[in-house]
Amino acid sequence: MEEILIEQFLMENQWMIFLILLWTLPWKGVALWKAVKNSHKSWFVALLIVNTLGILEILYIFWFSHKHKKLSQKINKA
């Protein structure tokens, strides 16, 4: 019964799926690119598999990928 309601809702609101894709794909692309650039294999796999509507990707882009840069800069200065 619930499956039918979900299918009906999605069929009637296909624009919502399109908006979700427009929101998540750019975030996922940038986050995956930064993970590869920073050699974060585990982050790459997690970002590729887990879909959080861009939340995990945004956290990675603005928080976790910058920690890696700061750490590598400290190591290079020493």
Q: Which pLDDT tens digit goes with each residue over 23-37?
A: 999 999 999 999 999
What pTM was computed for the model? 0.70
What is the pLDDT at residue 78? 57
Q: Which two tokens stand for residue 28?
A: 């996922």
Instruction: Give me the mean pLDDT over the 51-70 stretch.
Output: 84
- pLDDT tops 70 at residue 74: no
Those residues whose C-beta lies under 8 Å from the C-beta of residue 46, and which sit 6 or more positions away, are 56
How do the domains of the chain map onto residue ranges?
Answer: 2-77
As a whole-number percent, the residues of the chain with pLDDT over 70 amount to 85
